[in-house]
Amino acid sequence: MTTPIALNPASRASAIEAMSRAELDVLVVGGGVVGAGAALDAVTRGLSTGLVEQRDLASGTSSRSSKLVHGGLRYLEMFDFALVKEALEERGLLLTRLAPHLVRPVPFLYPLKKAYERPYVGAGLMLYDGMAVLGARAGRHDMGLPKHKHLFRKQLARIAPDIRTDQLHGAIRYYDCQVDDARLVMTLARTAANNGAHVATRTKVTGFLREGDRVVGVSARDLENGVDFEVRARTVINAAGVWTDQVQELIGGDATLDVDASKGIHLVVPRDRIRSECGFITKTEKSVLFVIPWGRHWIIGTTDTPWDLDLAHPAASRRDIDYLLGHVNTLLKDPLDHEDVQGVYAGLRPLLKSVRKTGGETTKLSREHTVAAPAPGLVLIAGGKLTTYRVMARDAVGMAVADFGDARPSITDRVPLVGAYGFETRTNQRVALSRSAGLDIGRVDHLLGRYGGLVDEVLDLIAHRPELGLPLRQADEYLAAEVVYAVTHEGARHLDDVLTRRTRISIETFDRGTLVAQEAATLMAAELGWDDATLAEEVDHYLRRVEAERQSQLKLTDQEADEARVQAPDIV
């Protein structure tokens, strides 16, 4: 297999030139999971395809999720069987065929607070497993996960010593999957580029080109260089998520879709603060509480509250954090407090409303997606969830090319993402890789779980520059090579891209990445040609961003938190 195309400054410049020079079949607006998935779907149908994103890949909702690939147990309770079945089929595809290097099984405990819950929850999980088996058969792949198992109080105490068992009637253990959501998006975009798509981040759509009623492309601005250009396309797909209403305003006329933003926040705490072999999940009065294993950490989430303030940088308030700590502490023998929190992140779910300005709670809005064509040559997609991105992308492209006579059917259910190829082989060779690279086996496992079969590209950097094989001094979970690789192969252009999305240093260290910022920026500067002033500006911006987030998390209300967070705007 040939080496996959890299995302880097040269490929970005080439993409902008190509998109401005010749008409595309499909232009996708939005570099989240649905947009990147749509670009991959379109290009693998044999269509000339472009993707533009005004910030970084996955810089919005798609890097701030619970990082789960799951069917959604709570939708069973809503009798939304079709959504659960669809999501479980997609979970199986990602785990066994499309992205086995990124998606991995995670065991969860469902604590039973009342005796009558055992048959009720057990029946739901039996149905959940059954749907997964049927989905695996339909997709012609293995289920890939063990089935659920009933646990009683003594078993629960052995598996999760820090969970309070005195008020519980045992638990049920079941399996779902997790993924680094931002890496999934970047890998989708890189896979699309590898198949011929043109990908350009930091490129903002400023308007739509029209010929009569038909949309024939967009006007855009290269935000890095301040250059305006046009991209003509037979059809444009808007996958802007919570920005859908803003994009519709550029079209003019009545909006077709009405999207509400619902804020969900997550806390990151050290793994040693909760002794448990499994994550756990329980219902709250407003949402679902997840405690999810995440390397050396736990991710605790989530909230579900309306948000109508800054869409680019939703802020977690003190009230949000207290809400999660209060609920998780009802399950723990040794309560967590604010000093245990390493990181906090807030994201916005794009929830679709069927009627504009109808009010109501966002938790009751559908998570299913809708595709619409408000004008010839333009398709909008909104709603949905991370797990079903491929189905959403397929549906959007399907509508976009409905009147194309030369478009092929979607094939993304059998297109492995870059890094999937060779992953199993290299995993079987992990000991040999460790010896040849001079890295300990745990470090090799870490690299395999992030790069899969592309691990050789990272190891080649280290072979040519041995100093890159050293851990970052203030974030030792990551190697210096990973910062360089993020720039040379994964499209990172700014310090924030690396510390927040290509790695998760911004939420995995108590200092939120401020201590490693100078070291990481220096590594990036050598690849991007930054002068001393640019390097200093990048570091200063990151430090100001972290401080603004810290201040927002001290505020009681959303309004106050938002006012604190917007004090540090984007660097571009």
CA distance 334 to 338: 13
pLDDT tens profile 84-102? 999 999 999 999 999 999 9
**What was the pLDDT predicted at 44?**
97
Tell me 499's DSSP state: I
Torsional class of 405: left (φ above 0), alpha (ψ -120 to 50), beta (otherwise): alpha
Bridge pairing between strands 343-353 and 258-270: antiparallel
The CATH 3.50.50.60 portion of the chain extends over 9-62+183-259+364-414
Q: Which two tokens stand for residue 515?
A: 């201590």
pLDDT tens profile 137-181? 776 666 679 999 999 999 999 999 999 999 899 999 999 999 999
CA distance 233 to 230: 10
CA distance 263 to 308: 9
Band (pLDDT 50/70/90 cuts) for residue 549 is very high
Q: Which two tokens stand for residue 458?
A: 């990272």
pLDDT of 2 higher than 80: no
**What was the pLDDT predicted at 518?**
98
Q: Which two tokens stand for residue 260?
A: 């509400």
Rg (Cα) of the chain, in Å, rounded?
Answer: 23
pLDDT tens profile 15-59? 999 999 999 999 999 999 999 999 999 999 999 999 999 999 999
CA distance 52 to 163: 46
pLDDT of 208 higher than 60: yes
Torsion angle of alpha carbons 216, 219, 222, 228, nearest 10°? 130
The CATH 1.10.8.870 portion of the chain extends over 423-565
Three-state secondary structure string covering 282-297? EECCCCEEEEEEECCE
Band (pLDDT 50/70/90 cuts) for residue 254 is low
Select 9-62+183-259+364-414's CATH number: 3.40.50.620, 2.60.40.10, 3.20.20.150, 3.50.50.60.
Answer: 3.50.50.60
pLDDT of 507 higher than 70: yes
CA distance 339 to 380: 43
pLDDT tens profile 443-466? 999 999 999 999 999 999 999 999
**What was the pLDDT predicted at 361?**
39
pLDDT tens profile 279-331? 999 988 777 899 999 999 999 999 999 999 999 999 999 999 999 999 999 99
Which of 200-214, 248-262, 460-474 is predicted least confidently?
248-262
Residue type, 64: R
Letter string b/e over residues 474-507, b meaning 16 or more CB atoms within 10 A of that residue's CB: bbebbbbbbbbbbbbbbbbbbbbbbbbbbbbbbb
Q: Which two tokens stand for residue 363?
A: 């938790």
pLDDT tens profile 36-47? 999 999 999 999
Band (pLDDT 50/70/90 cuts) for residue 250 is confident
**What was the pLDDT predicted at 357?**
37
**What was the pLDDT predicted at 358?**
33
Q: What is the mean pLDDT of residues 230-250?
A: 91
Q: Which secondary structure element, helix H or strand E, spans residue 200, and what is its range?
A: strand 198-200
Residue type, 527: E
Q: What is the mean pLDDT of residues 205-223?
A: 96
- How many residues are listed for the chain in this entry? 572
Alpha carbon of 161 to those of 105, 114, 479: distances in Å?
A: 22, 20, 33
Band (pLDDT 50/70/90 cuts) for residue 354 is low
CA distance 228 to 67: 36
Q: Check if the beta carbon of residue 102 is closer than 8 Å to that of residue 187.
A: yes
| The residue to which tokens 């700590």 are assigned | 325
Q: Which secondary structure element, helix H or strand E, spans residue 318, and what is its range?
A: helix 318-329
Tell me 226's DSSP state: T
Q: Which CATH code for domain 423-565?
A: 1.10.8.870
pLDDT tens profile 55-71? 999 999 999 999 999 99
**What was the pLDDT predicted at 374?**
87
Percent of the chain with pLDDT over 90: 83
**What was the pLDDT predicted at 267?**
98
Would you say the C-alpha torsion 323, 329, 334, 340 has a positive or negative sign? negative
| The residue to which tokens 């252009």 are assigned | 493
